[in-house]
A and B are shown apart, each in its own frame.
Chain A
């Protein structure tokens, strides 16, 4: 039975102004290894459909995992009835959808080796080898390795006439070593985030070499000093660290639903309000943030979003100026835009699609510059590698970040490891303090697979990226 057509025909016959249906099967393999103990080796599958109906400018959404004609019709009717209920409380004429043409298309994540064809024993053996390497270092008391492989198959149909067949896959390996002394305990991780591709990505990583570095640096870190009181210092931030700072301080504040106040009760709103478009100095002239849902390997690269809008590439910040937002079909018209940028995504079949951060990255510098040249050019500062503590206010203005590994820089050299470093800054101070960005040879990505947003909460995914960059005059110090 063609449930897509059944649901859409039913929605139209009921009087829906617009409707769509996503039939989605998500398969996830999780392997969690704590030291040498396999705490979780599981294969999970979620299969169902969600029907979204717009009536008189208001939404209703109902999901089900029962695949019968009766269930599909009942679900559609219920979605229509919820839309009618929503319509009792709306602003003016309610929501209007941005224009979009219809598409009949398919998309597959480019993938040489399907990660689900790799045997469990190969995966587990690789993980055990890494943890054995970590635990082989005296002083490393805990090793943790987590591997996730996820595959999404999605059929999307809308009353616009769009029919999409979308297949995405991603995987994410993460491991951590924890060094313990009688006085302290500190961890160091390998965490480059998720990547939308096949097992060839894992094959390209020399995980054992990375494990040695992680263990050695955990041992260095646990014996390292911290810095004293907070002072204005120079910071050099590596791309993986930058992935988190841009996610929190640029990605979220430029989601249009937050800007419009739709997340006011939980995740919060945004300082980056529409009157700032085209004039707000978000960063220095070197700072260009590109939204790119066509990025190869990007976790938000899926061909189309859950409004049926094709993936696009556009500037959020250009030469330091706030230019645009990430938008959806129902948010874009509210600020006078005719088209959506295609940022509406749901995680599972039972999730209502919400305005999500696109793949978003800091463009590399145009002049040739390597991280080692950047360090040589820095008299006094702190280098931060990887991600640690992070906290930002609900308007996305004031924030405090830590990191995973820290080095003190003096006279152009990394002179010693540090620990327990935090820095405080805000928008627009932080991105305006950028005075150097390394070139494209040093561009790296970080894929976020656990972006929490929405009520009920959803776990969104998108990819960030950049090259090592320098920030001047930031408040940096040891904790407490």
Chain B
């Protein structure tokens, strides 16, 4: 497909009359096998090819996108984007497209993932269903196989091409009031083991028998990595320098200062070969190692090209997540506090107050009460409200950082005084 993408790019380079342009071409091949209640319910396959062209005449901008690649469609694409720009009002924040950059060498995506056949996926799902049936339970989930290619070209000389393959599998097992989930995504299917995932699912499932109700209130929690990644997504969403400088988020005036807990270090990295790192961002910025937070001190924040240029810093966005861990295991964490709960996952996180960095959410997929260093019993779910940066100041211990998404590696965290504001009815 690279050849077809390059041909389209050449056509646009030759025919686009605008003063400036940025062209993004994206190709995907996806296979989704979705199952629920011990049967396959959806099976989706297909390819997509999509071109998005942004142009500018002076500082008047316009954009258009199509998924047809014949010459007439590409001519229409150029024409639409150019006409919009010509008719548009000037943009006072217009930023010229990215210049040429030297890029890292492309890492070929895993052949094991790309060549994965539907028969193998169905066979693995059959094992999940057989396991659930043996427990008289129901299992639901999805297997996803994805391959994508991205091409980015600008009038100012940037040319980049990248590829990615991804396999992910998630499943929730439910029987009566007990439900729990495991999930994994990775670049290389060869590293995936359905037996290991089933074992993990069974372990969680067995631990959750006969959940009891607990009172709400502040208490220590051990967040397993799958729970940690959930709130991190939302932290990253609002971790923006321009918003901070304009006074609309919690980080106003905090760059360079200790704003998070000193056990919290967060990076994006190109050095971990297992952690997916694109060669360049959507705007054509080559990815490189970035320290976002080191021992709780804000080192860098996300900034788009316009704002970075305005205040003379480098633009950047979180392209993958590496949270530094330590070596404290779950058993050891349980001994560091008198009592607390272990959280498998968090759910439906939403902001309550952006300026305070205050968020709400629920627990999901199983909560375990521990006391005197041992798990005592499962408990029903809670609602929590928390201020994320304050919460990181209460981190008492970290597990080793483990890869749980193709682009995220995070540790389990022992957090003191986590704020449970309500109990749920199940």
The smallest C-beta distance from A159 to any residue of chain B, in angstroms, reads 18
In the complex, A121 Cα to B88 Cα: how many Å? Answer: 6
Q: Mark A70-103, 1 if CB is under 8 A from B, else 0.
A: 0000000011001101101111001000000000
The answer to whether A264 touches B424, judged by C-beta atoms less than 8 angstroms apart, is no
The answer to whether A47 touches B67, judged by C-beta atoms less than 8 angstroms apart, is yes
The answer to whether B140 touches A393, judged by C-beta atoms less than 8 angstroms apart, is no
Note all chain B residues with C-beta closer than 8 A to A426: 424-425
Q: Does A372 interact with chain B (Cβ within 8 Å)?
A: no
In the complex, A83 Cα to B80 Cα: how many Å? Answer: 40
Note all chain A residues with C-beta closer than 8 A to B422: 398, 400, 424
The smallest C-beta distance from A262 to any residue of chain B, in angstroms, reads 4
Q: Does B144 interact with chain A (Cβ within 8 Å)?
A: yes
Note all chain B residues with C-beta closer than 8 A to A36: 92
The answer to whether A352 touches B44, judged by C-beta atoms less than 8 angstroms apart, is yes
Q: Mark B326-366, 1 if CB is under 8 A from A, else 0.
A: 00000000000000000000011111111110101110100
Q: Does B115 interact with chain A (Cβ within 8 Å)?
A: no
In the complex, A479 Cα to B354 Cα: how many Å? Answer: 12
In the complex, A455 Cα to B33 Cα: how many Å? Answer: 9
The answer to whether B140 touches A262, judged by C-beta atoms less than 8 angstroms apart, is yes
The smallest C-beta distance from B42 to any residue of chain A, in angstroms, reads 5
Known: A61-B42, A141-B247, A185-B355. A82 touches B118 (CB 8 A): yes
The answer to whether B64 touches A43, judged by C-beta atoms less than 8 angstroms apart, is yes
Q: Does A46 interact with chain B (Cβ within 8 Å)?
A: yes
Note all chain A residues with C-beta closer than 8 A to B122: 85-86, 88-89
In the complex, A86 Cα to B358 Cα: how many Å? Answer: 44
Query: Which of B119-165 touch A at CB < 8 Å?
Result: 119, 122, 125-126, 129, 138, 140-142, 144
The smallest C-beta distance from A36 to any residue of chain B, in angstroms, reads 6
Complex partner residue of B349 from A39, A94, A391, CB under 8 angstroms: A391
Complex partner residue of B37 from A45, A62, A260, CB under 8 angstroms: A260
The answer to whether B425 touches A389, judged by C-beta atoms less than 8 angstroms apart, is no
Known: A38-B89, A89-B126, A89-B129. A265 touches B84 (CB 8 A): no
A interface residues, how many (CB within 8 angstroms): 77
Q: Does A350 interact with chain B (Cβ within 8 Å)?
A: yes
Note all chain A residues with C-beta closer than 8 A to B80: 43
The answer to whether A395 touches B426, judged by C-beta atoms less than 8 angstroms apart, is yes
The answer to whether A262 touches B358, judged by C-beta atoms less than 8 angstroms apart, is no
The answer to whether A392 touches B348, judged by C-beta atoms less than 8 angstroms apart, is yes
Interface size class of B (residues with CB under 8 A): 35 or more
The answer to whether A398 touches B424, judged by C-beta atoms less than 8 angstroms apart, is yes
The answer to whether A420 touches B118, judged by C-beta atoms less than 8 angstroms apart, is no
The smallest C-beta distance from A140 to any residue of chain B, in angstroms, reads 11
The answer to whether B37 touches A42, judged by C-beta atoms less than 8 angstroms apart, is no
The answer to whether B63 touches A393, judged by C-beta atoms less than 8 angstroms apart, is no
Q: Does A120 interact with chain B (Cβ within 8 Å)?
A: yes
In the complex, A420 Cα to B355 Cα: how many Å? Answer: 11
The smallest C-beta distance from B413 to any residue of chain A, in angstroms, reads 21
The smallest C-beta distance from A120 to any residue of chain B, in angstroms, reads 5
Note all chain B residues with C-beta closer than 8 A to A82: 43-45, 118
In the complex, A424 Cα to B360 Cα: how many Å? Answer: 11
Q: Does A40 interact with chain B (Cβ within 8 Å)?
A: yes
In the complex, A306 Cα to B246 Cα: how many Å? Answer: 46
Secondary structure at the A interface, as helix, strand, loop or mixed, is mixed
The smallest C-beta distance from B164 to any residue of chain A, in angstroms, reads 16
The smallest C-beta distance from B146 to any residue of chain A, in angstroms, reads 9
The smallest C-beta distance from B21 to any residue of chain A, in angstroms, reads 13
Q: Mark A248-270, 1 if CB is under 8 A from B, else 0.
A: 00000000000011111110010
Stretch at the interface among B166-174, B220-228, B259-267, B295-303: B166-174
The answer to whether B36 touches A397, judged by C-beta atoms less than 8 angstroms apart, is no
Known: A124-B89, A141-B247, A479-B353. A391 touches B43 (CB 8 A): no
Complex partner residue of A397 from B66, B81, B353, B425, CB under 8 angstroms: B425
The answer to whether B89 touches A61, judged by C-beta atoms less than 8 angstroms apart, is no
In the complex, A23 Cα to B30 Cα: how many Å? Answer: 19
The answer to whether A128 touches B89, judged by C-beta atoms less than 8 angstroms apart, is yes
Q: Does A106 interact with chain B (Cβ within 8 Å)?
A: no
Q: Does B46 interact with chain A (Cβ within 8 Å)?
A: yes
The answer to whether A89 touches B248, judged by C-beta atoms less than 8 angstroms apart, is no
Note all chain B residues with C-beta closer than 8 A to A340: none
In the complex, A41 Cα to B144 Cα: how many Å? Answer: 33
Q: Mark B105-125, 1 if CB is under 8 A from A, else 0.
A: 000000000000011001001
The answer to whether B37 touches A262, judged by C-beta atoms less than 8 angstroms apart, is yes
Q: Does A186 interact with chain B (Cβ within 8 Å)?
A: yes
Query: Which of A220-277 touch B at CB < 8 Å?
Result: 260-266, 269
Q: Mark B397-421, 1 if CB is under 8 A from A, else 0.
A: 0000000000000000000000101
Known: A91-B37, A480-B358. A46 touches B140 (CB 8 A): no
The answer to whether A391 touches B350, judged by C-beta atoms less than 8 angstroms apart, is yes
Q: Does A37 interact with chain B (Cβ within 8 Å)?
A: yes
Complex partner residue of B30 from A59, A394, A456, CB under 8 angstroms: A456
Known: A119-B87, A393-B424. A61 touches B36 (CB 8 A): no
Which residue numbers of B lie inside 8 Å of A, CB to CB? Answer: 30, 32-50, 52, 54, 61-68, 80-81, 84-85, 87-89, 91-93, 118-119, 122, 125-126, 129, 138, 140-142, 144, 170-172, 174, 179, 181, 246-249, 347-356, 358, 360-362, 364, 381, 383, 385, 387, 419, 421-422, 424-426
What are the 4 tightest A-B residue pairs by CB atom distance, in nearest-first order?
A: A42-B63, A63-B46, A37-B93, A264-B140
Which residue numbers of A lie inside 8 Å of B, CB to CB? Answer: 34, 36-48, 50, 58-65, 78-79, 82-83, 85-86, 88-91, 94, 119-121, 124-125, 128, 141-142, 178, 180, 182, 184-186, 260-266, 269, 350, 352, 389-395, 397-398, 400, 402, 420, 422, 424, 426, 455-456, 479-480
Besides the contacts A59-B41, A88-B126, A142-B246, what 14 more A-B pairs have beta carbons closer than 8 Å? A43-B63, A45-B64, A61-B42, A63-B46, A64-B47, A89-B122, A94-B39, A185-B249, A260-B37, A264-B37, A266-B142, A391-B383, A393-B362, A402-B352
Can you give 9 A-B contacts (C-beta < 8 A)?
Answer: A38-B89, A142-B248, A178-B248, A266-B170, A352-B44, A391-B348, A394-B362, A402-B352, A480-B387
